[in-house]
Amino acid sequence: MKQLKFSGFIFFLLFLTESLSLLTETQDVDSFGITQKFIEENTGSITIIAFAQYVQEATFDEMEILVKDIIEYRDKCLAHKTLPECAEIAINVLQGRICAIEGLPQKYNFSHCCSKMGFERRLCFLYNKKADVGFLPPFPTLDPEEKCQAYKINTESFLNRYMHEVARRNPFAFGPTLLTVAARFEEVAKTCCEEQQKASCFQAKAAPITQYLKAMSSYQKTVCGAFLKFGPKVLNSINIAVFSQKFPRIEFKELTSLLEDVSSMYDGCCEGDVLQCIRYQSQVMSHICSKQESISSKIKECCEEKMPEREACIINSSKDGRPQDLSLREAKFTDNENVCQERDTDPGNFFAEFLYEYSRRHPELSTPELLRIARVYEDLLADCCNKENPPDCYRQAEDKFNETTERSLRMVQQECEQLQNLGKDGLKYHSLIELTKIAPQLSTEELISLGKEMVTALTTCCTLSEEFACVDNLADLVLGELCGINTNRTINPAVDHCCKANFAFRRLCFKELKGDEMYEPPSSQGFFTSCVDWCQAQNEELQRKKDRFLVNLVKLKPGLTYEELQSLFTSFTNMVEKCCKMQEPEACFLEEGPKIGN
């Protein structure tokens, strides 16, 4: 991957002290050296990612001002290594230099962050990121020939501009993920620019990169949202469930050790500290690769890859097979006479081990479902351990677990039946109506995006053998997008409650929501009559107009039933078709529109 026109050596000097403090027993000096070399070689890309994610509105040219400033900072620190400012940690240096760019904080409205220091400033920059990127201009698209010409004339500038555009549109994606995307796009450009059929080559090879970025960004945003809203306990529970399913033969003690590194990784990545995120993720992967025999049989080839593909390969590797000697259930949590005493000795470790044992035995369940089971068990023991005969009470635990799973399973089955009955387009319209009714305060584009993601979850999963886990996992990611990362994000009281009350059960909470009764609809003036531009729209643009119209229709008339809204929508599209055939469409719309609105 190419870098900007200045040496990565500056970052090696600035961050060497900081990096050395991260060395642990699980990351030896060789591994540290590889990570440091990777950072050194990709300094330009790391700078672009950090700047573009913090100041999404800024242009590429404005970013180059920061680069120039960092060069001056480097020169000063090379000449005067003992200056106090040269000992600052990386993220503080970067944010300080961003704040120091004349007029930039005022122009893009982040001067309130610059007035803070240390952790408070870092948190402010994080919460200043915008998930809804509708304010940005459309992603620059070039004709394949122009694209390849730009690539060949100045490869470095071409790839850096691509990274800038991708990073600012994905402000919560982890640095290593964006570096992987950039490296893969570089390979695509290199290959496709040598092909005769450049357009079809780019289309075929770029699509998987886009899908990878979308999936990873969505997962990372959801997990960071859970971490920031619910704290380290929920983050740890998510990771226990995920790692226990992925690596079912790992010992609990080894998992606990690994999760210490994973927790540190999320501290840096969720905060938006690109450098720390790269370092800690490398540390986690080095830990896993150093214990392959006891962790997984599926990652040997991944561990032979170089950064960042090693990390991406391990994350996306398939689950290991269930150990043959693993019993169908772990009796110590339900049949043991001393369950309450063991719980009271160390509750955190006790419930973590329960989740580990249950997760590795149930690869067919989703992560949210495993967390629901863990919560049901925790609540059950809180009740049973206060009774006269606790063992008689908690021996019913398996029945409680099955009831919980059956409830979740019914929810997924109903969703898949809905897809079967309505079809893909019908389901999309149903999802748009449902989402807009419960969260009309969201922007139209955001609601359309969420609706499409929900449909993608169902169309992707409903025919698979692992239907339940697939639907439940992906649908929960859609809710993660809706709830967002920021702890102060407010939509309306009912939605806010579901987003903040209980992470494991939020899917079920959202299923109970109806419309927002406190919502006040906007004015309907001109809504059904200002439609002349529909006559020029075709294919994708026409579909986008239909989606936007339906969402805005629900915002306008939230009290109507699904059937009534569907009827109005059909009447409107029929009117458009009729009026666009007329010699004077505008007059037709003015005459026919009011009939629909009343």
What are the binding residues for Zn(2+)? 273
Residue 336 and residue 445: Cα distance in Å, rounded? 54
Dig out the tokens for 392 from the structure: 């008689």
What is the full DSSP assignment across 126-142? HHT--S--TTSPPPP--
Task: Return binding residues.
Answer: 273
Both tokens of 598, joined, read: 């009343």
Contacts of 441 (CB under 8 A, 6+ apart): 491, 492, 516, 519
C-alpha pair distances (Å), 373 with each of 43, 355, 378, 379, 505: 44, 8, 9, 10, 10
The rounded distance, in Å, linking the Cα atoms of 360 and 314 is: 18
Identify the bridge partners of residue 27 per DSSP, sorted by sequence position.
Answer: 24
How far apart are the C-alpha atoms of 130 and 126, rounded to whole Å?
Answer: 9
3-state SS class at 333 = helix
Residue keyed to tokens 């339906």: 550
Instruction: Give the chain's length.
Output: 598
Q: 267 pairs with which residues across the strands?
A: none
Q: Write out the DSSP string of 261-312.
A: HHHHHHHHHHHT-HHHHHHHHHHHHHHHHHTHHHH-SS-HHHHTSPTTHHHH
Q: How far, in Å, CA of 563 to CA of 466, rounded?
A: 32
Reply yes or no: is the peptide bond before residue 308 cis, omega within 30 of 0. yes
The C-alpha atoms of residue 438 and residue 70 are separated, in whole angstroms, by 47
| Total Cβ atoms within 10 A of residue 598 | 7
Cβ(376)–Cβ(404) below 8 Å: yes
The residue to which tokens 């059960």 are assigned: 505
DSSP state of 389: S
Cα–Cα distance for residue pair 138/381, rounded to 1 Å: 54
Q: Output the DSSP codes for 68-117.
A: HHHHHHHHHHHH-TT-GGGGS-HHHHHHHHHHHSTTHHHHTT-HHHHTS-
